Amino acid sequence: GKVAIIGLGYIGLPTAVALATRGIDVIGVDLNPSIVQAVSRGEVPFAEPDLAVAVSGAVAMGRLVATTEVPEADAYIIAVPTPFTAERTADLSYVESASRQIAPKLRRGAVVVLESTSPPGTTDKVKGWIGEMRPDLKLPHDTEPQPDIHLVHCPERVLPGRIMIEMITNDRIIGGITPRCAQKAAAIYRVFAQGEILLTDAASAEMAKLVENAYRDVNIAFANEISLISEYLHIDVWEVIRLANRHPRVNILSPGPGVGGHCIPVDPWFIVAAAPELSPLLKTAREVNDGRPNHVAEQVIAKAQRFRAPSIACLGLTFKANVDDIRESPAVEVVSLIAKGLPDVEISACDPYVSELPPLLGSYENLRLKNAVQAVDEADIVVLLVEHEPFKAMRHTRLGGKVVYDTRGVWR
Protein backbone atom coordinates (compact mmCIF):
# COMPACT_ATOMS: atom_id res chain seq x y z
CA GLY A 1 0.00 0.00 0.00
CA LYS A 2 0.86 3.65 -0.34
CA VAL A 3 1.22 5.95 2.65
CA ALA A 4 0.99 9.73 2.43
CA ILE A 5 2.57 11.75 5.21
CA ILE A 6 1.31 15.30 5.60
CA GLY A 7 3.98 17.56 7.10
CA LEU A 8 7.68 16.83 6.51
CA GLY A 9 9.04 18.19 9.76
CA TYR A 10 10.76 16.66 12.76
CA ILE A 11 8.18 13.88 12.97
CA GLY A 12 6.79 13.47 9.45
CA LEU A 13 10.13 13.06 7.71
CA PRO A 14 11.59 10.46 10.11
CA THR A 15 8.30 8.55 9.97
CA ALA A 16 8.41 8.69 6.17
CA VAL A 17 11.89 7.17 6.01
CA ALA A 18 11.09 4.59 8.70
CA LEU A 19 8.34 3.26 6.38
CA ALA A 20 10.14 3.82 3.08
CA THR A 21 13.33 2.01 4.10
CA ARG A 22 11.15 -1.00 4.97
CA GLY A 23 9.66 -1.23 1.50
CA ILE A 24 6.54 0.94 1.79
CA ASP A 25 5.89 3.52 -0.94
CA VAL A 26 5.71 6.86 0.83
CA ILE A 27 4.60 10.20 -0.51
CA GLY A 28 5.71 13.08 1.67
CA VAL A 29 3.55 16.18 1.46
CA ASP A 30 4.46 19.64 2.65
CA LEU A 31 2.98 23.00 1.74
CA ASN A 32 6.46 24.57 1.79
CA PRO A 33 7.96 24.05 -1.71
CA SER A 34 11.55 24.52 -0.51
CA ILE A 35 11.13 21.59 1.93
CA VAL A 36 9.63 19.49 -0.87
CA GLN A 37 12.54 20.36 -3.17
CA ALA A 38 15.12 19.58 -0.48
CA VAL A 39 13.57 16.18 0.30
CA SER A 40 13.25 15.38 -3.42
CA ARG A 41 17.00 15.92 -3.70
CA GLY A 42 17.46 13.54 -0.78
CA GLU A 43 18.34 16.33 1.64
CA VAL A 44 17.09 17.15 5.11
CA PRO A 45 16.20 20.76 5.96
CA PHE A 46 17.19 20.41 9.65
CA ALA A 47 19.79 18.58 11.76
CA GLU A 48 18.88 15.25 13.36
CA PRO A 49 21.43 12.45 13.83
CA ASP A 50 21.24 9.70 11.16
CA LEU A 51 18.24 11.25 9.40
CA ALA A 52 20.10 12.68 6.40
CA VAL A 53 21.59 9.37 5.30
CA ALA A 54 18.20 7.65 5.71
CA VAL A 55 16.40 10.27 3.61
CA SER A 56 18.93 10.21 0.79
CA GLY A 57 18.78 6.40 0.79
CA ALA A 58 14.97 6.26 0.70
CA VAL A 59 14.83 8.84 -2.12
CA ALA A 60 17.56 7.07 -4.11
CA MET A 61 15.65 3.76 -3.79
CA GLY A 62 12.58 5.49 -5.18
CA ARG A 63 10.49 4.64 -2.11
CA LEU A 64 10.13 8.22 -0.91
CA VAL A 65 8.91 11.08 -3.07
CA ALA A 66 7.85 14.54 -1.97
CA THR A 67 5.15 16.84 -3.28
CA THR A 68 3.02 19.83 -2.28
CA GLU A 69 -0.28 18.15 -3.25
CA VAL A 70 -2.08 15.54 -1.16
CA PRO A 71 -2.20 12.39 -3.34
CA GLU A 72 -4.50 9.37 -3.33
CA ALA A 73 -3.17 6.81 -0.87
CA ASP A 74 -4.21 3.87 1.29
CA ALA A 75 -3.18 5.60 4.49
CA TYR A 76 -2.60 9.17 5.59
CA ILE A 77 -0.48 10.27 8.51
CA ILE A 78 -1.02 13.86 9.64
CA ALA A 79 2.17 15.25 11.22
CA VAL A 80 1.62 19.00 11.01
CA PRO A 81 2.33 21.50 13.79
CA THR A 82 -0.21 22.34 16.49
CA PRO A 83 1.26 25.61 17.77
CA PHE A 84 -0.32 27.49 20.61
CA THR A 85 -2.16 30.74 20.32
CA ALA A 86 -1.79 33.94 22.33
CA GLU A 87 -4.62 32.61 24.52
CA ARG A 88 -2.56 29.45 25.15
CA THR A 89 -4.96 27.18 23.33
CA ALA A 90 -4.06 24.91 20.43
CA ASP A 91 -4.09 26.34 16.93
CA LEU A 92 -5.69 23.51 14.98
CA SER A 93 -5.71 25.31 11.64
CA TYR A 94 -2.96 23.09 10.13
CA VAL A 95 -4.73 19.94 11.28
CA GLU A 96 -8.01 21.20 9.87
CA SER A 97 -6.48 22.15 6.57
CA ALA A 98 -4.69 18.77 6.29
CA SER A 99 -7.97 16.97 7.07
CA ARG A 100 -9.82 18.98 4.44
CA GLN A 101 -7.13 18.27 1.84
CA ILE A 102 -7.19 14.56 2.60
CA ALA A 103 -11.00 14.26 2.57
CA PRO A 104 -11.60 14.46 -1.21
CA LYS A 105 -8.91 11.81 -1.83
CA LEU A 106 -10.23 9.22 0.62
CA ARG A 107 -11.10 5.83 -0.82
CA ARG A 108 -13.00 3.01 0.93
CA GLY A 109 -10.79 1.26 3.47
CA ALA A 110 -8.37 4.14 3.93
CA VAL A 111 -6.70 4.75 7.28
CA VAL A 112 -6.22 8.29 8.62
CA VAL A 113 -3.77 8.81 11.48
CA LEU A 114 -3.42 12.02 13.45
CA GLU A 115 0.12 12.14 14.88
CA SER A 116 0.27 15.83 15.76
CA THR A 117 0.09 16.51 19.49
CA SER A 118 -3.50 17.55 20.04
CA PRO A 119 -5.90 18.64 22.78
CA PRO A 120 -8.56 16.18 23.93
CA GLY A 121 -11.28 15.89 21.29
CA THR A 122 -9.17 16.73 18.24
CA THR A 123 -9.45 13.31 16.59
CA ASP A 124 -13.23 13.70 16.80
CA LYS A 125 -12.89 17.10 15.15
CA VAL A 126 -10.89 15.54 12.30
CA LYS A 127 -13.77 13.12 11.85
CA GLY A 128 -16.14 16.10 11.74
CA TRP A 129 -14.11 17.94 9.09
CA ILE A 130 -13.86 14.83 6.93
CA GLY A 131 -17.57 14.16 7.42
CA GLU A 132 -18.49 17.68 6.33
CA MET A 133 -16.61 17.26 3.07
CA ARG A 134 -17.53 13.64 2.43
CA PRO A 135 -21.18 13.03 3.35
CA ASP A 136 -20.98 10.00 1.06
CA LEU A 137 -18.59 8.15 3.41
CA LYS A 138 -19.67 5.97 6.33
CA LEU A 139 -17.52 7.29 9.17
CA PRO A 140 -16.38 5.11 12.06
CA HIS A 141 -18.80 5.09 14.97
CA ASP A 142 -19.66 2.83 17.93
CA THR A 143 -22.70 1.58 16.07
CA GLU A 144 -21.07 1.36 12.64
CA PRO A 145 -19.40 -2.05 12.27
CA GLN A 146 -18.23 -1.49 8.67
CA PRO A 147 -17.10 2.12 8.23
CA ASP A 148 -15.58 3.29 4.95
CA ILE A 149 -12.52 4.79 6.63
CA HIS A 150 -10.57 4.23 9.84
CA LEU A 151 -9.41 7.10 12.02
CA VAL A 152 -6.97 7.08 14.95
CA HIS A 153 -4.70 9.26 17.04
CA CYS A 154 -1.16 7.91 17.31
CA PRO A 155 0.88 10.51 19.16
CA GLU A 156 4.56 10.88 18.37
CA ARG A 157 6.81 10.46 21.43
CA VAL A 158 10.34 10.70 20.04
CA LEU A 159 13.05 12.75 21.67
CA PRO A 160 14.75 15.29 19.38
CA GLY A 161 18.39 14.26 19.03
CA ARG A 162 17.38 10.56 19.32
CA ILE A 163 14.47 10.51 16.88
CA MET A 164 15.80 7.80 14.57
CA ILE A 165 16.36 5.45 17.51
CA GLU A 166 13.22 6.23 19.50
CA MET A 167 11.02 6.13 16.38
CA ILE A 168 11.84 2.41 16.17
CA THR A 169 12.24 1.42 19.82
CA ASN A 170 9.54 3.41 21.68
CA ASP A 171 6.20 1.85 22.53
CA ARG A 172 3.36 3.41 20.52
CA ILE A 173 -0.11 4.36 21.65
CA ILE A 174 -2.82 3.99 19.03
CA GLY A 175 -6.18 5.42 19.98
CA GLY A 176 -9.00 4.53 17.62
CA ILE A 177 -12.35 6.20 17.13
CA THR A 178 -13.42 2.55 17.38
CA PRO A 179 -11.33 -0.53 18.39
CA ARG A 180 -11.31 -1.70 14.78
CA CYS A 181 -9.82 1.62 13.65
CA ALA A 182 -6.97 1.11 16.13
CA GLN A 183 -6.32 -2.41 14.85
CA LYS A 184 -6.21 -1.24 11.23
CA ALA A 185 -3.74 1.55 12.00
CA ALA A 186 -1.54 -0.75 14.11
CA ALA A 187 -0.64 -2.65 10.94
CA ILE A 188 1.12 0.46 9.60
CA TYR A 189 3.21 0.99 12.73
CA ARG A 190 4.11 -2.70 13.00
CA VAL A 191 6.11 -2.20 9.79
CA PHE A 192 8.84 -0.36 11.70
CA ALA A 193 7.99 -0.15 15.42
CA GLN A 194 9.86 -2.62 17.58
CA GLY A 195 8.29 -1.39 20.80
CA GLU A 196 4.88 -2.53 21.99
CA ILE A 197 1.79 -1.15 20.26
CA LEU A 198 -0.81 -0.19 22.84
CA LEU A 199 -4.36 0.02 21.54
CA THR A 200 -6.84 2.35 23.18
CA ASP A 201 -9.49 4.97 22.37
CA ALA A 202 -8.67 8.29 20.72
CA ALA A 203 -9.33 10.55 23.73
CA SER A 204 -7.12 8.46 26.03
CA ALA A 205 -4.32 8.57 23.46
CA GLU A 206 -4.61 12.36 23.17
CA MET A 207 -4.55 12.80 26.92
CA ALA A 208 -1.71 10.31 27.50
CA LYS A 209 0.59 12.22 25.17
CA LEU A 210 -0.15 15.55 26.85
CA VAL A 211 0.27 14.04 30.29
CA GLU A 212 3.72 12.66 29.40
CA ASN A 213 5.01 16.11 28.59
CA ALA A 214 3.23 17.72 31.54
CA TYR A 215 4.86 15.11 33.79
CA ARG A 216 8.27 16.13 32.54
CA ASP A 217 7.47 19.83 32.86
CA VAL A 218 6.34 19.44 36.48
CA ASN A 219 9.47 17.46 37.32
CA ILE A 220 11.77 20.03 35.73
CA ALA A 221 9.87 22.75 37.60
CA PHE A 222 10.53 20.87 40.82
CA ALA A 223 14.27 20.86 40.06
CA ASN A 224 14.18 24.55 39.14
CA GLU A 225 12.39 25.46 42.35
CA ILE A 226 14.89 23.46 44.42
CA SER A 227 17.62 25.34 42.56
CA LEU A 228 16.13 28.73 43.50
CA ILE A 229 15.75 27.71 47.13
CA SER A 230 19.28 26.30 47.30
CA GLU A 231 20.73 29.43 45.75
CA TYR A 232 18.91 31.53 48.34
CA LEU A 233 20.27 29.35 51.14
CA HIS A 234 23.81 29.29 49.64
CA ILE A 235 23.69 25.54 49.13
CA ASP A 236 25.01 23.85 45.98
CA VAL A 237 21.89 22.47 44.24
CA TRP A 238 23.88 19.98 42.15
CA GLU A 239 25.35 18.43 45.26
CA VAL A 240 21.88 18.28 46.86
CA ILE A 241 20.39 16.56 43.81
CA ARG A 242 23.30 14.16 43.46
CA LEU A 243 22.82 13.07 47.07
CA ALA A 244 19.01 12.95 47.03
CA ASN A 245 19.06 10.88 43.84
CA ARG A 246 20.90 8.11 45.67
CA HIS A 247 17.57 7.33 47.35
CA PRO A 248 16.02 4.35 45.55
CA ARG A 249 12.74 6.16 44.81
CA VAL A 250 14.00 9.66 44.07
CA ASN A 251 15.06 10.82 40.62
CA ILE A 252 15.23 14.61 40.43
CA LEU A 253 15.79 16.09 36.98
CA SER A 254 18.25 18.89 36.21
CA PRO A 255 17.57 22.56 36.84
CA GLY A 256 18.47 24.82 33.96
CA PRO A 257 17.79 28.15 32.28
CA GLY A 258 14.21 27.14 31.46
CA VAL A 259 12.22 24.69 29.39
CA GLY A 260 12.22 25.11 25.64
CA GLY A 261 11.28 23.32 22.46
CA HIS A 262 7.92 23.16 20.79
CA CYS A 263 6.40 20.47 23.02
CA ILE A 264 7.00 20.58 26.75
CA PRO A 265 6.35 24.34 27.20
CA VAL A 266 3.19 24.06 25.10
CA ASP A 267 1.44 20.77 25.81
CA PRO A 268 0.61 21.37 29.50
CA TRP A 269 -1.38 24.43 28.45
CA PHE A 270 -3.61 22.21 26.28
CA ILE A 271 -4.56 20.34 29.46
CA VAL A 272 -4.97 23.56 31.44
CA ALA A 273 -7.23 24.96 28.71
CA ALA A 274 -9.40 21.84 28.85
CA ALA A 275 -9.85 22.02 32.66
CA PRO A 276 -8.57 25.39 33.95
CA GLU A 277 -10.05 25.11 37.45
CA LEU A 278 -8.56 21.67 37.99
CA SER A 279 -4.95 22.20 36.97
CA PRO A 280 -3.20 24.55 39.47
CA LEU A 281 -0.10 22.33 39.67
CA LEU A 282 0.41 22.17 35.89
CA LYS A 283 -0.09 25.91 35.59
CA THR A 284 2.33 26.71 38.40
CA ALA A 285 4.97 24.38 36.92
CA ARG A 286 4.69 26.27 33.65
CA GLU A 287 5.12 29.56 35.47
CA VAL A 288 8.12 28.33 37.47
CA ASN A 289 9.85 27.16 34.28
CA ASP A 290 8.92 30.27 32.33
CA GLY A 291 10.44 32.39 35.11
CA ARG A 292 13.87 30.81 34.70
CA PRO A 293 15.32 32.92 31.85
CA ASN A 294 14.56 36.08 33.78
CA HIS A 295 16.19 34.72 36.92
CA VAL A 296 19.33 33.61 35.07
CA ALA A 297 19.62 36.97 33.29
CA GLU A 298 19.22 38.85 36.59
CA GLN A 299 22.02 36.80 38.15
CA VAL A 300 24.34 37.53 35.23
CA ILE A 301 23.49 41.22 35.24
CA ALA A 302 24.24 41.33 38.99
CA LYS A 303 27.61 39.65 38.44
CA ALA A 304 28.45 42.19 35.73
CA GLN A 305 28.12 45.06 38.23
CA ARG A 306 31.44 43.97 39.77
CA PHE A 307 33.30 44.95 36.59
CA ARG A 308 33.95 48.34 35.02
CA ALA A 309 33.65 47.25 31.37
CA PRO A 310 33.03 43.53 31.36
CA SER A 311 32.76 41.24 28.38
CA ILE A 312 30.28 38.38 28.61
CA ALA A 313 30.33 35.11 26.67
CA CYS A 314 27.02 33.21 26.50
CA LEU A 315 27.49 29.60 25.43
CA GLY A 316 24.52 27.97 23.74
CA LEU A 317 21.41 29.25 21.96
CA THR A 318 19.44 26.12 21.08
CA PHE A 319 16.61 24.85 23.28
CA LYS A 320 18.73 21.92 24.46
CA ALA A 321 22.02 20.15 23.90
CA ASN A 322 23.14 18.68 20.58
CA VAL A 323 20.21 19.87 18.45
CA ASP A 324 20.02 22.88 16.09
CA ASP A 325 16.49 23.87 17.13
CA ILE A 326 16.04 27.33 18.67
CA ARG A 327 12.24 27.24 18.89
CA GLU A 328 11.05 28.48 22.29
CA SER A 329 14.67 28.42 23.42
CA PRO A 330 15.22 29.74 26.95
CA ALA A 331 18.88 30.39 26.06
CA VAL A 332 17.84 32.87 23.36
CA GLU A 333 15.61 34.58 25.89
CA VAL A 334 18.41 34.78 28.46
CA VAL A 335 20.81 36.30 25.92
CA SER A 336 18.18 38.79 24.84
CA LEU A 337 17.49 39.84 28.44
CA ILE A 338 21.20 40.27 29.17
CA ALA A 339 21.80 42.25 25.97
CA LYS A 340 18.84 44.49 26.80
CA GLY A 341 19.80 44.87 30.46
CA LEU A 342 23.45 45.70 29.78
CA PRO A 343 23.39 47.88 26.65
CA ASP A 344 26.97 49.11 27.19
CA VAL A 345 28.49 45.69 27.67
CA GLU A 346 30.08 43.57 24.92
CA ILE A 347 28.19 40.29 24.74
CA SER A 348 28.97 37.32 22.56
CA ALA A 349 26.67 34.42 21.83
CA CYS A 350 28.21 31.11 20.74
CA ASP A 351 26.63 27.96 19.42
CA PRO A 352 28.17 25.36 17.10
CA TYR A 353 24.66 24.58 15.77
CA VAL A 354 23.68 28.16 14.95
CA SER A 355 25.20 30.07 12.03
CA GLU A 356 23.37 33.40 12.31
CA LEU A 357 21.77 35.32 15.14
CA PRO A 358 18.06 34.48 15.48
CA PRO A 359 15.65 37.35 14.68
CA LEU A 360 14.94 38.01 18.37
CA LEU A 361 18.64 38.80 18.87
CA GLY A 362 19.40 40.57 15.61
CA SER A 363 18.71 44.08 16.83
CA TYR A 364 21.21 44.35 19.72
CA GLU A 365 24.28 46.37 18.76
CA ASN A 366 26.24 45.06 21.75
CA LEU A 367 25.75 41.43 20.70
CA ARG A 368 27.89 39.31 18.33
CA LEU A 369 27.81 35.68 17.26
CA LYS A 370 31.29 34.29 17.89
CA ASN A 371 33.36 31.17 18.03
CA ALA A 372 33.22 29.85 21.60
CA VAL A 373 36.95 29.56 22.24
CA GLN A 374 37.59 33.13 21.14
CA ALA A 375 34.60 34.46 23.06
CA VAL A 376 35.59 32.67 26.26
CA ASP A 377 39.20 33.83 26.00
CA GLU A 378 38.02 37.44 25.70
CA ALA A 379 35.33 37.20 28.40
CA ASP A 380 35.27 38.22 32.04
CA ILE A 381 32.02 36.38 32.60
CA VAL A 382 31.15 33.05 31.00
CA VAL A 383 27.53 31.86 31.06
CA LEU A 384 26.86 28.26 30.06
CA LEU A 385 23.29 27.97 28.78
CA VAL A 386 23.32 24.75 26.74
CA GLU A 387 25.49 21.72 27.51
CA HIS A 388 26.63 21.01 23.92
CA GLU A 389 29.46 18.44 23.83
CA PRO A 390 32.19 20.90 22.73
CA PHE A 391 31.27 23.19 25.64
CA LYS A 392 31.32 20.32 28.13
CA ALA A 393 34.73 19.34 26.83
CA MET A 394 36.14 22.86 27.23
CA ARG A 395 39.32 22.85 29.30
CA HIS A 396 38.85 24.14 32.82
CA THR A 397 42.11 26.12 32.52
CA ARG A 398 40.43 28.13 29.76
CA LEU A 399 37.84 29.29 32.33
CA GLY A 400 40.44 30.09 35.02
CA GLY A 401 40.16 33.55 36.60
CA LYS A 402 36.74 34.23 35.04
CA VAL A 403 33.34 34.49 36.66
CA VAL A 404 31.56 31.34 35.53
CA TYR A 405 27.78 30.86 35.67
CA ASP A 406 27.03 27.28 34.70
CA THR A 407 23.23 26.94 34.44
CA ARG A 408 23.48 23.25 33.51
CA GLY A 409 25.87 22.06 36.19
CA VAL A 410 28.27 20.37 33.79
CA TRP A 411 31.52 22.13 34.73
CA ARG A 412 31.46 21.28 38.41
* Residue numbers annotated as active site: 209, 263
Q: Per CB under 6 A, which of residues 258..277 are in contact with ligand SAJ? A: 259-261, 263-264
Q: Is there binding between residue 290 and ligand SAJ (CB under 6 A)? A: no
Q: Is there binding between residue 212 and ligand SAJ (CB under 6 A)? A: yes
Task: State whether the Cα torsion 337-338-341-347 is positive or negative.
Answer: negative
Q: Is there binding between residue 336 and ligand SAJ (CB under 6 A)? A: no
CA distance 310 to 341: 13
Determine contact, residues 324/353, Cβ cutoff 8 Å: yes
Q: Is there binding between residue 122 and ligand SAJ (CB under 6 A)? A: no
State the amino acid at position 112 in one-letter form.
V
Pairing state between β 197-201 and 111-114: unpaired
Q: Build a one-symbol-per-residue string for 129-168: x at contacts with ligand SAJ by CB under 6 A, - elsewhere.
A: ---------------------------xxxxx--------
Give the residue with the Cβ less far from ligand SAJ, 159 or 273. 159
Residues near ligand SAJ (CB under 6 A), total:
20
CA distance 276 to 278: 5
- For 283, the enclosing helix (H) or strand (E) is helix 280-290
Nearest of 27, 8, 206 to residue 105 by alpha carbon:
27
CA distance 52 to 83: 26
Q: Build a one-symbol-per-residue string for 310-329: x at contacts with ligand SAJ by CB under 6 A, - elsewhere.
A: ---------xx---------
In the complex, least distance from residue 60 CB atom to ligand SAJ, rounded to whole angstroms: 28
CA distance 317 to 384: 10
CA distance 186 to 193: 10
Determine contact, residues 78/115, Cβ cutoff 8 Å: yes
Part in contact with ligand SAJ (CB under 6 A); list of ranges 42-50, 212-220, 298-306, 361-369: 212-220
Q: Is there binding between residue 253 and ligand SAJ (CB under 6 A)? A: yes
Other C-beta atoms lying within 10 Å of the C-beta of residue 151: 28
In the complex, least distance from residue 79 CB atom to ligand SAJ, rounded to whole angstroms: 11
In the complex, least distance from residue 130 CB atom to ligand SAJ, rounded to whole angstroms: 25
Mention every residue, 6+ apart, whose C-beta is less than 8 A from residue 206: 118, 119, 120, 121, 122, 123, 153, 155, 175
In the complex, least distance from residue 135 CB atom to ligand SAJ, rounded to whole angstroms: 35
Give the residue with the Cβ less far from ligand SAJ, 160 or 176. 160
CA distance 250 to 253: 10
Determine contact, residues 281/322, Cβ cutoff 8 Å: no
In the complex, least distance from residue 259 CB atom to ligand SAJ, rounded to whole angstroms: 4
In the complex, least distance from residue 160 CB atom to ligand SAJ, rounded to whole angstroms: 4
In the complex, least distance from residue 350 CB atom to ligand SAJ, rounded to whole angstroms: 17
Q: Build a one-symbol-per-residue string for 218-237: x at contacts with ligand SAJ by CB under 6 A, - elsewhere.
A: --x-----------------
Part in contact with ligand SAJ (CB under 6 A); list of ranges 211-219, 231-239, 278-286, 365-373: 211-219
Mention every residue, 6+ apart, whose C-beta is less than 8 A from residue 323: 47, 48, 160, 161, 353
Give the residue with the Cβ less far from ligand SAJ, 213 or 279. 213
Give the residue with the Cβ less far from ligand SAJ, 74 or 212. 212
Pick from 82, 101, 116, 117 the residue near ligand SAJ by CB under 6 A: 117
Contact set with ligand SAJ (CB under 6 A): 117, 156-160, 212-213, 216, 220, 253-254, 256, 259-261, 263-264, 319-320
